[in-house]
Amino acid sequence: MTTDAAPQTRSFEADVAKLLHLMVHSVYSEKDVFLRELVSNAADACEKLRYEALQQPQLFGDDAQARITVTVDSESRRLLVEDNGIGMSESDLAEALGTIARSGTKAFMDRLGSDKEVEGNQFIGQFGVGFYSAFMVADRVDVASRCAGADTAALWSSDGLGTYTIEPIDPSEAPARGTRVTLHLKEDAGGFTQASLIERTIRDQSGHVPVPIFLKDGPDAEPRQIADGAALWTKSKAEIGEDEYKDFYRSLAGQFDDPALTIHYRAEGLHEYNVLAFVPGSRPFDLFDPERAGRMKLYVRRVFITDEAEILPRYLRFVRGLVDSSDLPLNVSREMIQESPVLSAIQKGVTNRVLSELEKIASHDDDRYRALWNDFGSVLKEGLYEDFGRREALLGLARFKTTSSGEAWRSLKDYAAALKDNQTAIFYANGTDAQLLASSPQLEGYRARGIEVLLLTDQVDSFWVNSGIDFEGKPFKSVTQGMADLDLIPLPEGERSPPADASAVNDFIAFAKATLGDSVTDVRASERLTESAVCLVAPDHGVDRQLERLLARAGQLGAAAKPVLEINPHHPLITRLSALGEDHQALREDAAFLLFDEARIADGELPLDPRAFSGRLTRLLERGLG
């Protein structure tokens, strides 16, 4: 029963009509955020009482266990959020709720000043605006509150349109201690009286606040606990069993496999935060979705803030987990965090730790790391192109199929140990299929000399190898680009004899260049061919041919560079063609074009002019049968 005092109608201390409209319609993008904000405020109230009770234990009375109780009332279309925290007096209500953006929590912390005992507190609110998100779903909000240890209570009420009322009420109409927020829901917000929705939202967004949370399915229902006030990531690893980690991972990641790697630690020092992260045991189905963001959740003092904070770089987007910061500043909406030195430090620390944990596995458990690389290696290699500062670490983690490895993975350290004398570069071949690459004619000279070649089949490989990268001072060089640079590494004795008539071969090469004209950049004798007659390579300063194809398909390339046709001067076919006299001019011309088209086909392309190719092939067959 209320007292005889009439309620006082007051105006908010701000241009509230505009400001509340901004709060309701602009600051928050998801309506259910109001529940997170109200639970956060309730948790703060409980934490304030805990602190005050250090000096005044009588404030607890007979009820020392903090709790938050959420009640759904579908019949009356109401939602109630109640805590047994510090509570508010009439003047507190006017100051805290009558002045938008005046945070009671912040004022409380300012009052504490440099008190050392405050260092362990877990206050959440910082900007004093989250409460007003309730008007996104409510036509009216009533706040009944009673200070701990007080005999009086007060009621704050508003429709969010510019004014509010405050009046004293009978203490029996308020909690015995603490605050009760009653939301009279709008017609289109009736779904928030569904207990299942409220429970799911609280578990997802506020399930780990430092206060137990109870849910009542109706005003007269028995409360049941839906959050225990304990966060798994705040416990020491010694307290947590493997099954607990697995269950948490599956709940967090929405997957049914076991984590391949669990990373759990607390960072202390200039910035304090807890990290619990997992590398999945299988590849997520949307790993290569270009719109896919990272899956690291951000909490501040165990309250969910966002899963779009970009804690980890995109090349670690397969990692699932969370970071819980104790001192990260937030912006007014708490849905997007500010660009701040604290966030940068967290990003750097978590990224380095994930890479460090991967390196430990790579160094000590080859089989386990091989499975990880099979699933996520193609994504990790994106970092070689995007993250210059961590290239050395990422190169150490990288694994490759090579012409010498068969089905095994090789590290660059393994490759460097097998370098030939006078080998000046790390050679690679780009394509889409490792087996086809291994049989490419461009690799013949390298294989004959025992030079290992990396077989790169991921699209990102075409980009990072062309970004000026090196390993232990050795640059990466494509076997399909420019000169082969094999002069200093001789073939084994007897592997290849000089052409029978070097002068005639040179004349035929010059003839082929003149015949092909603008179809090629150059025609030259090849160092890299030992078995095939011809192959195509990119010009010395041109784009690698695989990268050129990717850019062309993406519409990011103008006119493609003309390739270089390399001819094997030692091949019997070339020797015989070189010996033909001027009376076989037509045959030599057909042969030059056919050799060029043969090289294009070996490169996975169509003949330059399929109809002309068919005619030349027919004429050649007729000559052979004539």
Binding site residue list for ATP: 37, 41, 83, 88, 103-104, 126-131, 179, 334
The residue written with tokens 């300012």 in the block is 110
User: Is 414:466 a contact under the CB 8 Å cutoff?
Assistant: no
Question: Sign of the CA dihedral 385, 391, 396, 402?
Answer: positive
Alpha carbon distance 200, 213 (integer Å): 12
User: Is 511:592 a contact under the CB 8 Å cutoff?
Assistant: yes
User: Is 546:538 a contact under the CB 8 Å cutoff?
Assistant: no
Dihedrals phi, psi of 291, to nearest 5 degrees: -95, 0
**Residue 577 region, left (φ>0) first, then alpha (ψ -120 to 50), else beta?**
alpha
Length of the chain: 626
Q: Which residues pair with 470 in a beta bridge?
A: 475
Binding residue ranges: 37, 41, 83, 88, 103-104, 126-131, 179, 334
Tell me, what DSSP letter sits at residue 481?
B
Residue 233 CA: distances (Å) to CA of 324, 525, 605: 8, 65, 55
User: What burial class does residue 605 get, using C-beta atoms within 10 Å of its C-beta: 0-12 exposed, 13-18 middle, 19+ buried?
Assistant: middle
Alpha carbon distance 289, 286 (integer Å): 5
User: Is 43:35 a contact under the CB 8 Å cutoff?
Assistant: no
Residue 275 CA: distances (Å) to CA of 243, 245, 298, 608: 18, 13, 10, 57
In 210-328, DSSP assigns E strands to: 213-216, 224-227, 261-267, 273-279, 295-300, 303-306, 320-325
Q: What is the DSSP string of 304-321?
A: EEES-S--S-GGGTT-EE
User: What burial class does residue 81 get, using C-beta atoms within 10 Å of its C-beta: 0-12 exposed, 13-18 middle, 19+ buried?
Assistant: buried
Q: What is the dihedral of CA 372, 377, 383, 384, to 10 degrees?
A: 130
Alpha carbon distance 536, 601 (integer Å): 10
Q: Which residues pair with 610 in a beta bridge?
A: none
How many other C-beta atoms are found inside a 10 Å radius of the C-beta of residue 470?
Answer: 12
DSSP-based three-state secondary structure for 598: helix
Alpha carbon distance 98, 163 (integer Å): 9
Q: Which residues pair with 182 in a beta bridge?
A: 80, 142
- Residue 354 C-beta-side C-alpha neighbours within 13 Å: 27
- Residue 219 C-beta-side C-alpha neighbours within 13 Å: 8
User: Is 281:258 a contact under the CB 8 Å cutoff?
Assistant: yes
